[in-house]
Amino acid sequence: MKTIRIRKFTILCLFIILIFPWVFYVGAHFLETKSFNLGIQPNSKMTQIIAVISGLLLAFLIVAYTMRRYILIPLEKMSASARQIGEGDLDIQLPSSKISEIAEVHEGFHVMVDSLKKSYQKQVELEDERRFVIAAVAHDLRTPLFALRGYLEGLEQGIADSPEKKAKYLQVCKEKSAQLDRLVEDLFTFTKTELLEMEFKENTVDLSIVLQRSIDSVSPLAHQKHVSIIMHRFGEKCVVLGDSHLLERAMNNLLDNAVRHTPCHGEIFVECYKNGNNVTFTIKDTGRGFSSDELQRVFEPLYRGEASRNRLTGGAGLGMTISKRIITQHRGDLVAGNHSDGGALLSGWIPLANSSFYFHT
């Protein structure tokens, strides 16, 4: 749409105000004298006077209508839209205008509204992330708390009846206390800084060692169910860049999920190996596997799949989501599927520390 600067618009309005009375005067003179010779004096100048006044009034009407349509109405609606935006309603409708300055303000309003919409959407996402992290940390607090309580009760009831057992129980309690301390610190840091991501300490980490520590962590639960954890292809170093604590949390969740949903006397196969520029890891169990609905929603927060996966057996439904997000945070990915032989299959990858991936991002 072509626009005109307000200065030119003002000059055009003045021209109309000046030219219309003159045109009307000349027209009235012609009607009386049948001549455009303005030197001929008619018997009466009343007609010319009325014509001049009529032309002036018509000029004012045209100018007033034009100003109202292209200046006043857009400004009034912009004022109403500003109050509407102030009340939080971003669904505004602004009229177009042929005045350049108003058209620029009109465009500025649209840019502002679009920015506010994006800002509100980001705020909603931030709030969702904040709630997720709080729920995730609360979920992770449960496991060490239960373990700590169990070992303390064992000490209290005298189950650890030898110095060796007491030393082992105390060592486990110290480890769980340290884990709780780190989790509480994560929550405190997030609450204080209101960041999307938890504190990320990027170092070189051998993912095979992280997996080995996670296997050791879930071994007592696996032993209770007589579930064997079998490791394959753990011979070479699989060094990645990342936070060893977060990676261990991710692997703990995956292995804990596998142990809980593998039947007694079942098996879990864990692999970790280099695959091109990536480190690939897989966790396969001999359980029932995932249904088609579970495969589509397995990484959704709070989704627990089958009814039997309640808080006593399958957690609150955040473990898989936490693992997915941690792996994604490490520039990798995690997918769920079913093995051809039956059972659930979790596959993930993270770029090697010396991968060209880091040099192109």
Of the pLDDT bands very low, low, confident and very high (cuts 50, 70, 90), residue 195 is: very low
Higher-pLDDT residue of 268 and 155 is 268
Mean pLDDT of 27-32: 68
State pTM to two decimals: 0.52
* Collapsed DSSP state (helix, strand, coil) of residue 349: strand
Mean pLDDT of 54-73: 79
Mean pLDDT of 172-195: 65
Rounded-to-integer distance, Cα 136 and Cα 347, Å:
22
Counts for the chain of helices (H) and strands (E), in that order: 9, 7
For residue 308, the model assigns a pLDDT of 36
C-alpha 71, offset from chain centre: 40
Mean pLDDT of 270-298: 88
Of the pLDDT bands very low, low, confident and very high (cuts 50, 70, 90), residue 281 is: very high
Rounded-to-integer distance, Cα 250 and Cα 196, Å:
18
pLDDT tens readout for residues 113-172: 888 888 888 888 777 767 766 766 676 677 778 788 888 888 888 887 788 888 888 888
State yes or no: pLDDT of 304 exceeds 60: no
pLDDT tens readout for residues 203-220: 899 999 999 999 988 888
Collect all residues with Cβ–Cβ distance below 8 Å to 199 and sequence separation of at least 6: 186, 189
For residue 133, the model assigns a pLDDT of 66
pLDDT tens readout for residues 330-359: 889 999 999 888 889 999 999 998 865 554
For residue 112, the model assigns a pLDDT of 82
Mean pLDDT of 79-83: 79
Whether the Cβ atoms of residue 291 and residue 305 lie closer than 8 Å to each other:
yes
Return the number of other C-beta atoms located less than 10 Å from residue 160's C-beta. 17
Q: Which two tokens stand for residue 186?
A: 């994560």
Mean pLDDT of 36-54: 63
Q: Which of 186-190, 311-315, 319-323 has the lowest mean pLDDT?
A: 311-315
Length of the chain equals 361
Most confident of 28-37, 100-109, 184-193, 210-219: 210-219
